[in-house]
Amino acid sequence: MHAVSQAVVAQAPEQFPVHSNPPIWTVAEVLALYDLPFMDLIYRAQQVHRQHFDANAIQRSTLLSVKTGGCSEDCSYCSQSARYETDVERERLMPIDEVVAAAQVAKAKGASRFCMGAAWRGPKDSDLDKVLEMVREVKALGMQTCVTLGMLKQGQAEKLKEAGLDYYNHNLDTDKAFYGQVIKSHTHDDRLDTLSQVRDAGINVCSGGIVGMGETRRNRAAMLVQLANLPRPPESVPINHLVPVPGTPLGDLPPLDPFEFVRTIAAARIIMPTSHVRLSAGRQEMSEELQALCFLAGANSMFYGDQLLTTGNPDVSRDDALFGKLGLRAV
């Protein structure tokens, strides 16, 4: 059975049927969560959240783009695809000492994890060797390490594990049924294949998606179901709001209704009760009140640092002030 509190079962038993263990979620069940009155949904998400986490603790990761732009892939949202005219300049793989210096700054500011991103379809073995060195050196600073390098070939995940990598980020990005409308150069199954290589190598899985790309609520629910029903749910689930980037095909999309965004966080929290749910891209465009609602809905991780990969993130001073106002603790 799903981790449903007795109180909620008593309120709406027909919506939350009994399941075998481990739970397999259906899209209909997750749509039923989305359909709950907002207050009931948030209450339920808080109950689940508090069963598994300290509700006042937020994990903070800092991102660094170690290889920017010029990517071969056709992802309609991405500033770094070589197929679109955006303001992002193509850069070479960053020297290791610069990466380590950035990680030291992130650690001093209070990030527990350092996530290095590369605009690749996947790493060449020669590039991977340099990333392995970055992982070793960042790990030696006492930080958790994460990389996001695209699709992996056989054997690459094992090398990352040997270097001490803690997390590999590889997002499903959207529902399998909507995937081909947004990403044209690889498939949802390709993404799943890399995720299973990462899992098999014993690396923690970080996988989530983007909302606000013109998908339907059903697509959002289906994406969450595809994540929750992986052989093991990801340890970390980033929920990104699309950052519309001028020059990309999705560059002028209007934002998703904020309550729909919060509902997505709450649904993720309920169906992946032991995962960290990360309030990810799009936070710069959110009010403090909306971010607080996301934390109330069960988000317990965020990107911390003035930059994401190529777009902005709230200044650390603003985030520190928000943590102070809400009594949140960084972990």
Which residues are marked as active site? 71, 75, 78, 115, 146, 206, 278
Our finding on whether 73 is near ligand SF4 (CB under 6 A) is yes
Please count the residues of this chain forming the interface with ligand SF4, following the rule CB under 6 A: 9
* Token representation of residue 237: 């689930």
Shorter beta-carbon distance to ligand SF4: residue 213 or 266: 213
In angstroms, rounded to a whole number, what is the distance separating the alpha carbons of residues 245 and 310? 10
Of the candidate spans 34-42, 114-122, 288-296, 299-307, the one that interacts with ligand SAM by CB under 6 A turns out to be 114-122
Name, in order, each residue with C-beta under 8 angstroms of 28's C-beta and a sequence gap of 6 or more. Answer: none
Of the candidate spans 35-43, 78-86, 95-103, 196-204, the one that interacts with ligand SF4 by CB under 6 A turns out to be 78-86
Site string for ligand SAM, 233-272 (x = CB under 6 A): -------x-xx-x---------------------------
Q: Taking CB under 6 A as the criterion, which residues in 157-216 touch ligand DTB?
A: 169, 171, 208
Q: Which of 330, 327, 270, 264 is nearest to 301 (CA)?
A: 330
- Angle between helix 27-35 and helix 217-228 axes, rounded to 10 deg: 120
Q: Which of 20, 36, 121, 55 is nearest to 329 (CA)?
A: 55
Helices (H) and strands (E) in the chain, counts: 12, 10
Q: Taking CB under 6 A as the criterion, which residues in 125-184 touch ligand SF4?
A: 150
Question: Are 282 and 314 contacting, i.e. CB atoms less than 8 angstroms apart?
Answer: no
Our finding on whether 248 is near ligand DTB (CB under 6 A) is no
Q: Is 308 helix (H, G, I), strand (E, B) or coil?
A: coil
Our finding on whether 80 is near ligand SF4 (CB under 6 A) is yes
Shorter beta-carbon distance to ligand SAM: residue 44 or 191: 191
- Angle between helix 188-200 and helix 156-163 axes, rounded to 10 deg: 40
Identified binder of ligand DTB from the candidate list 182, 299, 309, 328, rule CB under 6 A = 309
* Token representation of residue 87: 């303001």
Please count the residues of this chain forming the interface with ligand DTB, following the rule CB under 6 A: 16
Beta strands in the chain (DSSP E): 57-67, 113-118, 144-148, 167-169, 204-206, 209-211, 236-241, 276-279, 301-303, 329-330
Which residues make up the interface to ligand SF4 (CB under 6 A)?
Answer: 71, 73, 75, 78, 80-81, 119, 121, 150
Which residues make up the interface to ligand SAM (CB under 6 A)?
Answer: 77-78, 80, 117, 119-120, 148, 150, 170-171, 173, 210, 240, 242-243, 245, 281, 309
Which residues make up the interface to ligand DTB (CB under 6 A)?
Answer: 63, 79, 117, 148, 169, 171, 208, 238, 240, 243, 280-281, 308-311
